[in-house]
Structure 1
Amino acid sequence: MDIFSVIGLVLAVVALLGGSVLKGAGLAGLWSPAAFVIVIVGTVAAILLHAPRPVFSRAMKISRWVLKPPVADRAALIAQLLEWSNVARRQGLLGLESHVESQTDPFLRKGLQMLVDGLEPEAIRHMLDIELQGEEHHDLAAAKIYESMGIYAPTLGIVGAVLGLMAVMQNLADPSKLGQGIAAAFTATIYGIASANLLFLPCAAKLKSVIGRRSGERELVIEGLIAIAQGENPRNIEARLAGFLH
């Protein structure tokens, strides 16, 4: 669990609700079914029109990474690669065959299998680079879904405010309804701006950083497997991969 993300979400709620109370608007002033429908439901509708189904599905799947990003210990990963290097030097590349099925990471399993199959180092690099680029492209497209939601929500908040003011204009003859009507109109703007800047855009940025870190780990794996395929000394491999720890 990413404690910083949890604290950030809690503080976002506190900032919004606390600010409303301290400004005298009260908690009830933030609740508006009409604003919710226009801004939140409208944003979801815009995204469904915007994104292909596979991208939208991937965006929903990786949303958990905001609070619980995939954990990878780079030091342990390097230790694993060094262990495979020692096995390869003692038993040959075929000695790694028993390690393939125990790998839960599809990327790592695929790379190790290519190593066991005796593919040339450049062929391994080429295929794994394609795999990495495809995975990174798909995940970044999914992260941009939240970025797009952060763009649509404020605009729809303005739409909600305009619709609310139109309703107010229809009741100019009754001054008792004007204050409540104007407050309700601006609630939609709050929904749009707050959801964009306290949720959607931060989530998009967080997902991009997680994806970047995962790509770095994939590059570490590629370099390690290539070094094993080239028959490098384990000590040289360790020195070669040490830069990824930073």
Structure 2
Amino acid sequence: MSGLIFLVLSFVFLILGFLGEGGHAASLISWTSFVIVFGGTIGSLGTSFTMKQIKNIGRVLSVAFTGKSTDLVELIFYLDHVLGKVRKEGFLSLEGELQEDESMNPFMKKGLQSAVDGVNPDDIRNMLEIELEMSSKRHKVGAAMFDSAGGTAPTMGIVGTVLGLVHVLGGLAKADMNALGGSISAAFLATLYGLSSANLIFLPIATRLKNLAKQEQLEKEIIIEAISLIQENVSPTILRDTLKGFLDKKDQTKLESRYFGDLNKEESNKEETKIA
């Protein structure tokens, strides 16, 4: 949602700046320029991508503006909880939790359910890695569509301006000089539409989709590695230290402080129990 807010703000600031220079909002409206720029861009997308891919653009936009990044530190702590439960009670103890927790990441649920069902660790890893690869390819196609639109829109803007100038210059001999300035101004609106849509809409959305895809890929890589380690029945320390390598420095510090904070809390609880 924050992306949508900043998208709106970017256009608001652009228009405010134009009004501050003494311009009129009505002079920014030209349906012919709109048709040339966005119609040409849509035509280019239809030529570059299949109809099946284009039909998914609504879902891609939804992901861009509603997608949320996962707290990787919390994810690692949950996987640590899963390891502890499995070490104490076995994989079958996860059955109820997997069925009841509807908010659980579907990718993680699939991997853990396979482990509960006794699937070979290598087979689970291969299955999840294939799903990760296919998911990454879908994300790349979504971002590529907006990258393509971002490259096409400015060009279509120039085409629209050239068409407008051809019309203006073609009637220059009979033109009303008072209206000539307005006609030339309208011709340049196509360039404005092309540049602004590319740099405020299409390219930022493409970049946002790429960043979300990288975050999702990292999350899934952590899950894949964690499930393999849980099946190997490693110690909690090895699990945390291994998964910590996927984090940046800030999250590593957060993980360590969270871990030692919980550890001190457990020791404090034990001391209180002894005193009682």
After TM superposition, the score normalised by the length of structure 1 is 0.91
Unaligned runs of at least 5 residues, structure 1: none
Cα shift readout 1:120-139 (whole Å, capped 9, x = no counterpart): 32222111111101001101
Q: What residue identity is the alignment partner of 2:10?
A: A
Question: Is 1:38 matched with 2:36?
Answer: yes
Question: Is 1:232 matched with 2:216?
Answer: no
2:180 to 174, 178, 181: 178
> Which residue is 1:115 aligned to?
115
Unaligned runs of at least 5 residues, structure 2: 249-276
Root-mean-square deviation (CA), in Å? 1.9
Q: CA deviation at 1:74?
A: 1.6
CA distance in 2, matches of 1:109, 1:222: 11
Moved more, 29-38 or 17-26: 17-26
> Which residue is 1:143 aligned to?
143
- Does the CA-based 8 Å contact 2:69-2:216 persist in structure 1? no
CA distance in 1, matches of 2:111, 2:192: 49
> Which residue is 2:68 aligned to?
70
Moved more, 23-32 or 190-199: 23-32
* Matches for 1:12-23 after TM superposition, within 5 Å: 12-23=10-21
* Matches for 1:93-242 after TM superposition, within 5 Å: 93-101=91-99, 102-103=101-102, 104-172=104-172, 173-174=174-175, 175-242=177-244
Query: Partner of 1:211: helix, strand, or coil?
Result: helix
CA distance in 2, matches of 1:84, 1:18: 53
Cα shift readout 1:68-87 (whole Å, capped 9, x = no counterpart): 32242222211221121122
Question: Is 1:61 matched with 2:63?
Answer: no
Cα shift readout 1:188-231 (whole Å, capped 9, x = no counterpart): 01000111011110111111001100110011111110100111
CA distance in 2, matches of 1:58, 1:223: 31
Query: Partner of 2:246: helix, strand, or coil?
Result: helix
CA distance in 2, matches of 1:64, 1:147: 17
CA distance in 2, matches of 1:238, 1:186: 58
* Matches for 1:1-20 after TM superposition, within 5 Å: 1-2=1-2, 5-6=3-4, 8-20=6-18
CA distance in 1, matches of 2:224, 2:29: 52
Q: CA deviation at 1:242?
A: 2.0
Q: What residue identity is the alignment partner of 1:118?
A: G
Q: CA deviation at 1:7?
A: 5.2
CA distance in 2, matches of 1:188, 1:15: 19
CA distance in 2, matches of 1:140, 1:54: 15
- Does the CA-based 8 Å contact 2:45-2:149 persist in structure 1? yes
Q: CA deviation at 1:31?
A: 0.6
CA distance in 2, matches of 1:64, 1:120: 36
Q: What residue identity is the alignment partner of 2:119?
A: L
1:87 to 75, 82, 85: 85
- Does the CA-based 8 Å contact 2:158-2:190 persist in structure 1? yes
Q: Alignment identity in percent?
A: 37
CA distance in 2, matches of 1:68, 1:26: 34
- Does the CA-based 8 Å contact 1:171-1:177 persist in structure 2? no
- Does the CA-based 8 Å contact 2:69-2:215 persist in structure 1? no
> Which residue is 2:268 aligned to?
none
